[in-house]
Amino acid sequence: MALRRDWVYENNGGSALNLPISFPFQFIDTTCVAIAGSDYCVIAADTRLSVGYSIYTRDYSKICKLAEKCVMATSGFQGDMKALQKNLAARHLIYQHQHNKQISCPAMAQLLSNTLYYKRFFPYYTFNILGGLDNDGKGCVFTYDAVGSYERVGYSAQGSGAGLIIPVLDNQLKSPSPLLLPAKDAVTPLSEVEAVDLVKDVFASATERDIYTGDKVEIVVINASGIRRELMELRKD
Amino acid sequence: MEALAMKDSAISQNGTERTLYPYVTGTSVIGMKYKDGIIMAADTGGSYGSTLRYKSLERIKSIGKHSLLGASGEISDFQELLRYLDELVLYDNMWDDGNSLGPKEVHNYLTRVMYNRRNKFNPLWNSLVLGGVKNGQKYLGMVSMIGTHFEDNHVATGFGNHLARPILRAEWREDLSFEEAVKLMEKCLLVLLYRDRSAINKFQIAKITEEGVTISQPYALKTHWGFSAFQNPSKGAEGSW
């Protein structure tokens, strides 16, 4: 008998635990990373779409441009990922009609949080990172859980490879504690080129050990001159 | 008996019903792009558990002018989907504005339908392959029963994902001619026939190009069972089975 839990959140990674409910305690696939700089933001995600032990396609983008200065990377159940992206893109269109301007990244961050919490009791099974430039032109990264709790940070990683990547970022970016007074800036002093290199390195490392990460990594860089996108090949095994 | 029926049934106090598991199922569908369009293949079998109940099911249908839809999984849900799509195409034609739904649009519609049914815990238990050509642009995508979707140069559902995709990944090329594509498709179908127990030796291959749709008559592939190891099965242990 196909129990409800088996198919509702088939979620691109299969289930490691046999829980009576199908809530976000299962395998999360894909890896997303974002790093905020003083005047840029780097967001990256791999392009592998996997379900269980199969790869559906090697070329699926998980990064969605929501606004001029605001880009979202999502890991988790792909059906919910797409629905969430469409939802936010539609809300942004309404925002533009009502306010006659593009939404700012911190405002979109709040909108994403509210959208996720709205489905608190049947969640979007997505683990998101929002990246962009804030109203002062400084890089900002917001990191989320599946039901909308979020925080502005200097860098973040989500998804199956997050556990492999965050320690490396902690070591390399040495973000100051949010408990310090006066509050110290969380954005990294690294230059844009150095940050992109770091992102490429962490993805190459995560690909070695995580089966759900690989194929290609899509790196999006937002700075004052606009949005730039590049692809880097990763191991395909 | 009644207790079992009550436990298995999805009818609760308020009388709702929803899909719990599939009954009559079709096995893999394979699709690939080739030079002039899309080619898609599926066998014509419908299994009722381990019984081969139906041997002449058409699991590939044309949708509108520009698309082909192949389905694996629950056959009655596929038929329901065809009713949805009939209505969609009807409304599209009623605009009478010279425009018609392309494969990308139909794929998006199917994704939304499958996802929303999954959200209501009442899924259409199918994995769908949607392919087509419009204005010279080829499109091939897949949607699963919970709304996971993607597009690629070659797709397959069910066992096809495990057995056919590796062959396609190794041998598919951008500029396959129709004959080469059929040969590659038959290679995949043969592997599925040997290794998927719910596959039968009666296939239909459908192709769609800018000109239109052709769905072939059902035909069989040549199989080879004359291996020496099959000749005398109890050779190694006389009297055993």
Question: What is the tens place of the pLDDT at every residue in B146-173?
Answer: 899 999 999 999 999 999 999 999 999 9
pLDDT confidence of residue B21:
86
pLDDT, mean of residues A70-93: 95
Note the pLDDT tens digit of each residue in B104-147.
999 999 999 999 999 988 999 999 999 999 999 999 999 999 89
Nearest-CA distance from A2 to chain B in Å? 6
Is B159 domain-assigned?
yes
Is B228 domain-assigned?
no
Provide, for chain A, the percentages of residues in helix, strand and coil under a 3-state DSSP scheme, each rounded to the nearest 5.
Answer: 30, 30, 40
Is B120 domain-assigned?
yes
pLDDT confidence of residue A107:
97
Is B17 domain-assigned?
no
Residue numbers of the domain that contains B94:
30-220
Calculate the average pLDDT of chain B: 91
Nearest-CA distance from A8 to chain B in Å? 7
Percent of chain B with pLDDT over 70: 93
Instruction: Find which of B15-19, B89-93, B227-231 is predicted with most confidence, using mean pLDDT.
Output: B89-93
Asked if B121 is an interface residue toward chain A (Cβ–Cβ < 8 A), one would say yes
Of the candidates A7, A56, A122, which has its C-beta nearest B146's C-beta? A7
Give the three-state DSSP class for B163. Answer: helix
Is B6 domain-assigned?
no
pLDDT confidence of residue A18:
40
Note which residues in 156-195 of chain B have CB less than 8 A from chain A: 161-162, 165
Of the candidates B20, B148, B152, which has its C-beta nearest A12's C-beta? B148
pLDDT of A178 > 50? The answer is yes
Is B20 domain-assigned?
no
Interface predicted TM-score (ipTM) over 0.95: no
Reported as a pLDDT band with limits 50, 70 and 90, residue A10 is low
Note the pLDDT tens digit of each residue in A119-164.
999 999 999 999 999 999 999 999 999 999 999 999 999 999 999 9
pLDDT confidence of residue B11:
53
Confidence (pTM): 0.89
Residues of A in contact with B146 (CB under 8 A): 7-10, 77, 79
Is B58 domain-assigned?
yes
How many domains are there within chain B?
1
Whole-angstrom Cα distance, residue A104 to residue B152? 34
Of the candidates B118, B145, B150, which has its C-beta nearest A57's C-beta? B150
Give the three-state DSSP class for B128. Answer: strand
User: Which chain A residue has its CA at the smallest distance from B142's CA?
Assistant: A56
CATH number, residue B56: 3.60.20.10
Is B19 domain-assigned?
no
pLDDT of A28 > 80? The answer is no
Could B150 and A4 be called an inter-chain contact, meaning their C-beta atoms sit closer than 8 Å? no
Closest CA to A146 of A171, A176, A115, A174: A115
* Both structure tokens of B63: 């949708």
Task: Establish whether B19 is a catalytic residue.
Answer: yes
